[in-house]
Structure 1
């Protein structure tokens, strides 16, 4: 039941929480957007459209232009669960994003967060 509630949460509601978290730790919204676009393939216009439309997290990831094939390199614990062990692909994508946001907020280098790929800022 809790999973279904999470899937139904609006990305527009979650995004400002991510922004507040990274800014509180001295990182920028641009850093946040970089990891979101790296993971999902959205560009800035796509993120803005998803926020404006109020899509839920399930739809946000279902409509993602291109999930990064290196997302499987994201490992670690979120909410007491190892992200690499999550069996539901929908939940795993949400937790991948949570893990990336934590890494940004934790001050990790962007090249490391992006699993060695070059940093390109969202257009």
Structure 2
């Protein structure tokens, strides 16, 4: 497990971002939808997201340097990859799974106000 966690920490945001886009676009959603939920979660703006993709920033740095993690992120609950996101003890892994869960909800067609836990961007 520790080796797997280290591998995830070192993965670049640029390597998973296109996978998120593919996942939602297959379901008729857009890049804007993905950017909206990632912006809501992390506080990165469009230029910030473009920069971390271009710089191939690893996930650990991506979250460590996030401009403003959303205080409502703790409202993100449910299963993702077999884990209850609200029960994940490692703060980094919880952040990764929060992002996965938000993108999954976009792909499943949930309303944006529901995905953003009642707030707007």
Q: Which runs of 4+ in 1 moved over 3 A?
A: none
Which residue in the other structure is 2:111 paired with?
109
Q: Map of 1:71-90 to 2, 5 A cutoff?
A: 71-90=73-92
Match of 1:3 in 2: 5
Q: Give me the CA root mean square deviation.
A: 0.5
Structure 1 length-normalised TM: 0.95
Partner of residue 26 from structure 2, selected from 24, 27, 34? 24
d(CA) in 1 for partners of 2:7, 2:63: 15
CA shift for structure 1 position 7: 1.0
Which sections of structure 2, spanning at least 5 residues, go unmatched?
none
Q: Which runs of 5 or more residues in structure 1 are unaligned?
A: none
Number of residue equivalences = 119
Hey, what's the Cα distance between the residues in 2 that align with 1:56 and 1:12? 8
Structure 2 counterparts to residues 14-93 of structure 1, below 5 A: 14-93=16-95
Distance 2:69 2:27 in 1: 27
Q: Distance in 2 between matches of 1:22 and 1:62?
A: 26
Distance 1:29 1:65 in 2: 20
